[in-house]
Amino acid sequence: MLNGMKRETLFRALVAPLLMTCLTAAAQEQGYWRAASTTAHNVTGDLTLSEERLTINFYMTPMSRIRAMTAPEVSSVFDVDSSAAGAGSLYRLDIPGDKKFQHRNSLCGTEDVQWMVTYVAGKTLQVAFFSGAKPPVFTFEAIAGSTDKCGTFGYVR
């Protein structure tokens, strides 16, 4: 019986910090973000992330956080050192390919956007959108050869 209690205590000690890290990462992403990169200015403008919704230029769409991203996965999508501090997340959403934003630009040409990856470091947010029914594969080789990556966008607080 004591052995089972030790295992449960050890499990709680290991899992609780991991869960807190995941929740903290998602909370850091939430809020209003000002467009900072040229692509963000030209396509999305400012955006707002909440727990279950993405708002781009007054267009609201539901989203679901799928999971936290590892540092190597984040660095495969964004120009970020895999040892840099920050947090990333993968989201599932559905933005039609014919939806136009700033300057009549769409996020992914005529393709529907199905996935969003975020990376927060301090007061900066990077976002990448992907088309395709299956989640992207987050390796340098897969991202470099991907036809599903729509673009990356930079924001600040």
- Mean pLDDT for the stretch of residues 1-16: 52
Residue 15 predicted with pLDDT over 80: no
- Global pTM? 0.82
Q: How many CB atoms lie within 10 A of CB 91?
A: 21
Supply the mean pLDDT for the chain. 87
Q: 3-class DSSP state for residue 99? A: coil
- Nearest one of 157, 152, 76 to 115, comparing CA atoms: 152
Task: Kindly calculate the radius of gyration of the chain based on its CA atoms and give it in whole angstroms.
Answer: 17
pLDDT value, residue 21:
41
Query: CB within 8 A of 92, min separation 6: which ones?
Result: 63, 64, 66, 114, 115
Give strand pairing partners of 89: 68, 118
Q: Is the model's pLDDT at 90 over the cut of 80?
A: yes
pLDDT band at 83 (very low <50, low <70, confident <90, very high): confident
Please report how many Cα atoms fall inside a 13 Å half-sphere around the Cα of residue 91, on the Cβ side: 26
Token look-up 């390796």 returns 139
**Could you tell me which of 136, 63, 128 has the C-alpha nearest to residue 95?**
63
Q: What is the pLDDT of residue 114?
A: 98
Model pLDDT, residue 26:
58
Over residues 116-157, the pLDDT tens digits come to: 999 999 999 999 999 999 999 999 999 999 999 999 999 999
